């Protein structure tokens, strides 16, 4: 039964990735339908991002009350209805209206599912699940392309994804009894061998044992601010690289537009392949080591991009290596949350982690856009290196907090133990 639930969660991650790349692939056709400037896609993206931030910040309170299973079902259903709303939109304002439930649903399910997996499954599953999200995000544009070439238009593409999300909602609804099971199995045991299955409130059981934490209380937890800055920096790096890599290659390295567009996708392929490989590496290395390995590989990738060599393959290699380095960071940071902060506080921490990640994705790519426009787009790899350096400093600071906490526990145990 545990394996059946895990299969459902894998399916959920694939399905969650499907709509994430639809707006970009469909927007050239949508612009003609709505008669708005091309830049208006940013408005829809901002509304979605704000919705995800709000729902992620509220995830601790909501999940504590209803449980991860019910929150996931309702969030996916909300996303499906929003996508259906996209498909029937005839005006830009309707698109913006549908973007509100889309963002709220996406943020809610992201926080609830990630925390549930961090509590109940090993690190390799976290990596492979995020790899499945990458598969879904890669398949989404193909579905949209199928709809466009098949005469169904962009609305037909959104409708197909909405129907798939509704089917997932039905599967999740039928799986609700599985979420309530409390058996600790080998798959649910934490990598440290503690056998702790996590926060009782994670699936709705034992919710009375604690109350939700306020944002001020969450930020006040030792080490929390460091992990939030880490998530901000990581997603800023990922989204900035995804948005500006192609422009950097064209405007600074003299690569053709067509070739740059194809090569830019190699960054995401690097992430997807890297997460598949990371799942195997986590069987040997813990989350802290995996994050350090990822940061080192990211730095190597950016140094390769900076090499003053005219060969275009050098830039391509750097982007692929950067993607491979990005692969383990996000899932391992989330998976380490219960161990670092305790199972009872993990949902609260993960919720703010998601909000920090979405904020980084929302703010930092436009900031680099201003730098590229006002100074030089050649600063692209240096900008990413700056964010990476800050992320590394925060990660090592977090390990320092953990070390002091562990020493404190040892001292306390020694002082209170009978002689």
pLDDT in tens, 120-156: 888 888 888 888 887 887 788 788 888 888 888 889 9
- Residue among 111, 168, 101, 104 at smallest CA distance from 136: 168
Same domain, yes or no: 318 and 357: yes
User: Model confidence at 1, in pLDDT bands (50, 70, 90)?
Assistant: low
Write the CA distances from 333 to 287, 358, 382, 406, integer angstroms.
Answer: 7, 15, 24, 19
In this structure, are residues 25 and 140 in contact, taking their beta carbons and an 8 Å threshold?
yes
User: Model confidence at 210, in pLDDT bands (50, 70, 90)?
Assistant: low
345 is written with which tokens? 């506080």
User: Model confidence at 184, in pLDDT bands (50, 70, 90)?
Assistant: very low
> Could you report the per-residue pLDDT of 54-106, keeping only the tens digit for each?
988 888 888 888 888 888 899 899 999 999 999 999 899 999 999 999 999 88
Same domain, yes or no: 104 and 161: yes
- Residue among 335, 301, 275 at smallest CA distance from 127: 275
Same domain, yes or no: 282 and 387: yes
Q: Which of 152, 177, 212 is the last residue of a domain?
A: 212
Whether 202 shows a pLDDT value over 70: the answer reads: no
47 is written with which tokens? 């509304």
Write the CA distances from 62 to 164, 192, 275, 360, 392, integer angstroms.
Answer: 25, 29, 30, 24, 32
Same domain, yes or no: 206 and 287: no
Same domain, yes or no: 281 and 391: yes
Same domain, yes or no: 205 and 281: no
In this structure, are residues 64 and 347 in contact, taking their beta carbons and an 8 Å threshold?
yes
Residue 123 CB coordination number (10 Å): 26
Residue 86 CB coordination number (10 Å): 27
Same domain, yes or no: 182 and 283: no
- Residue among 59, 331, 351, 400 at smallest CA distance from 219: 351
d(C-alpha 352, C-alpha 152), whole Å: 39
For residue 405, the model assigns a pLDDT of 60
> Could you report the per-residue pLDDT of 241-259, keeping only the tens digit for each?
887 887 888 888 887 776 7
Q: What is the pTM of this model?
A: 0.80
The CATH number given to whatever domain includes residue 114 is 1.20.1250.20
Using the Cα atoms of residue 270, residue 231, residue 45 and residue 366 in order, give the sign of their dihedral.
Answer: negative
Same domain, yes or no: 266 and 402: yes
Same domain, yes or no: 242 and 194: no
d(C-alpha 57, C-alpha 224), whole Å: 14
Same domain, yes or no: 187 and 261: no
Write the CA distances from 195 to 62, 98, 305, 338, integer angstroms.
Answer: 26, 43, 44, 13
In this structure, are residues 221 and 349 in contact, taking their beta carbons and an 8 Å threshold?
yes
d(C-alpha 163, C-alpha 143), whole Å: 12
For residue 324, the model assigns a pLDDT of 93
User: What mean pLDDT is predicted for residues 291-299?
Assistant: 96
Whether 162 shows a pLDDT value over 90: the answer reads: yes
User: What mean pLDDT is predicted for residues 287-296?
Assistant: 94
SS3 for the chain is CHHHHHHHHHHHHHHHHHHHHHHHHHHHHHHHHHCCCHHHHHHHHHHHHHHHHHHHHCHHHHHHHHCHHHHHHHHHHHHHHHHHHHHCCCCHHHHHHHHHHHHHHHHHHHHHHHHHHHHHCCHHHHHHHHHHHHHHHHHHHHHHHHHHHCCCHHHHHHHHHHHHHHHHHHHHHHCHHHHCCCCCCCCCCCCCCCCCCCCHHHHCCCHHHCCCCCHHHHHCCCCHHHHHHHHHHHHHHHHHHHHHHHHHHHHCCCCCHHHHHHHHHHHHHHHHHHHHHHHHHCCCCCHHHHHHHHHHHHHHHHHHHHCCCCCHHHHHHHHHHHHHHHCCHHHHHHHCHHHHHCHHHHHHHHHHHHHHHHHHHHHHHHHHHHHHHHCCHHHHHHHHHHHHHHHHHHHHHHHHHHHHHHHHHHHHHHHHCCC
Cα atoms in the 13 Å half-sphere on the side-chain side of 56: 25
Same domain, yes or no: 253 and 115: no
Q: How many independent structural domains does the chain possess?
A: 2
Using the Cα atoms of residue 313, residue 319, residue 325 and residue 327 in order, give the sign of their dihedral.
Answer: negative
- Residue 9 domain boundaries: 2-212
User: Model confidence at 186, in pLDDT bands (50, 70, 90)?
Assistant: very low
d(C-alpha 312, C-alpha 93), whole Å: 43
Q: Which of 182, 212, 242 is the last residue of a domain?
A: 212
Q: Bigger pLDDT: 185 or 372?
A: 372
Q: Which of 212, 234, 249 is the last residue of a domain?
A: 212
Same domain, yes or no: 175 and 256: no
User: Model confidence at 239, in pLDDT bands (50, 70, 90)?
Assistant: confident
Q: Bigger pLDDT: 316 or 257?
A: 316
């Amino acid at each position: 039964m545990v394996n059946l639930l895990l299969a459902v969660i894998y399916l959920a991650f694939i399905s969650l990735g499907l709509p994430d790349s639809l707006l970009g692939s469909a927007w050239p056709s949508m612009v003609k339908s709505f008669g708005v400037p091309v830049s208006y896609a940013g408005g829809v993206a901002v509304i979605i991002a704000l919705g995800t931030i709000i729902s992620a910040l509220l995830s601790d309170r909501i999940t504590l009350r209803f449980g991860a299973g019910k929150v996931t079902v309702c969030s996916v259903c909300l996303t499906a209805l929003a996508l259906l709303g996209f498909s029937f939109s005839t005006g830009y304002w309707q698109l913006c209206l549908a973007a509100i439930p889309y963002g709220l649903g996406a943020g809610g399910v992201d926080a609830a599912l990630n925390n549930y997996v961090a509590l109940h499954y090993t690190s390799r599953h976290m990596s492979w699940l995020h790899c499945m999200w990458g598969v879904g995000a890669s398949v989404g544009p193909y579905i949209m392309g199928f709809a466009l070439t098949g005469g169904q238009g962009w609305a037909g593409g959104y409708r197909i994804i909405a129907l798939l999300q509704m089917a997932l909602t039905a599967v999740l609804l039928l799986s609700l009894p599985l979420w309530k099971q409390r058996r600790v199995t080998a798959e649910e045991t934490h990598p440290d061998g503690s056998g702790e299955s996590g926060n009782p409130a994670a699936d709705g059981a034992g919710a009375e044992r604690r109350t939700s934490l306020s944002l001020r209380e969450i930020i006040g937890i030792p080490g929390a601010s460091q992990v939030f800055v880490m998530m901000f920096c990581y997603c800023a790096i990922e989204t900035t690289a995804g948005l500006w890599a192609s422009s950097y290659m064209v405007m600074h390295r003299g690569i053709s537009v067509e070739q740059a567009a194809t090569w830019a996708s190699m960054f995401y392929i690097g992430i997807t392949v890297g997460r598949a490989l990371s799942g195997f590496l986590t069987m040997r290395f813990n989350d802290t080591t995996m994050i350090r390995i990822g940061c080192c590989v990211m730095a190597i990738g950016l140094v390769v991009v900076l090499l003053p060599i005219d060969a275009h393959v050098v830039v391509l290699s750097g982007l692929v290596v950067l993607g491979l380095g990005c692969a383990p960071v996000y899932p391992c940071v989330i998976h380490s949350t219960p161990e670092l902060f305790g199972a009872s506080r993990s949902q609260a921490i993960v919720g703010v982690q998601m909000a920090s990640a979405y904020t980084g994705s929302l703010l930092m790519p436009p900031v680099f856009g201003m730098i590229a426009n006002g100074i030089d787009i050649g600063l692209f790899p240096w900008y990413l290196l700056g964010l990476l350096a800050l992320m590394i400093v925060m990660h090592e600071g977090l390990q320092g907090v953990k070390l002091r906490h562990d020493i404190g526990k040892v001292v306390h145990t020694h002082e209170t133990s009978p002689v």
